[in-house]
Amino acid sequence: MKKILYSSLTVSFIFTGCIQNSLKGEEVIVEPKSEELIIDPVESMPRFPGGEDSLTAYLNKNNQWRVGQSTIEGRVVVGFVVSEKGELKEIEVLKSLCQSCDKEAIRLVESMPEWIPAEENGKPVPKRMMLPISFDGLK
């Protein structure tokens, strides 16, 4: 038993060393998604026109998701940036539920009106947001 344990540890160390050597000297470049500087936290957060109640009404009215006879319940979390002009940019699914729900969540956010942007020192600034969108079974 001890021989097996020592053998596996030796093999693990060898592979770890090989991986480290293969990455040595390589330069890793991370490109930012946005050219805009995103300030966090901000004095006032971005807002959907009309507030949270209007956002909920918009999502309920415009959600066209249909799944037939299947029952799917849960939520998709969509991430996006509200620019200083209120435009929604860099829209992406952060937490998936299913492919059809993900597509509908992206469509809903892409079709939203411009938001009221975040403010810092009295000036509009871009702000990254996360929005959970619920899908509640048969439609």
Give per-residue pLDDT as tens, 31-65: 555 566 776 788 999 999 999 999 999 999 999 88
> What residue numbers bound the domain in which 46 lies?
33-136
The DSSP call for residue 12 is H
pLDDT tens by residue, 99-122? 999 999 999 999 999 999 999 999
Domain assignment present for residue 26? The answer is no
The per-residue pLDDT for 15 is 42
The DSSP call for residue 137 is S
DSSP secondary structure string for all residues of 31-94: --S-SSPPPSS-SB--B-TT-HHHHHHHHHHH-----TT---EEEEEEEEEE-TTS-EEEEEEE
Domain assignment present for residue 114? The answer is yes
In total, how many domains does the chain have? 1
Percent of the chain with pLDDT over 90: 57
Maximum average pLDDT range among 5-19, 24-38, 95-109: 95-109
Domain assignment present for residue 19? The answer is no
CATH, residue 71:
3.30.2420
Domain assignment present for residue 60? The answer is yes
Domain assignment present for residue 25? The answer is no
Q: Is the pTM of this model over 0.75?
A: no
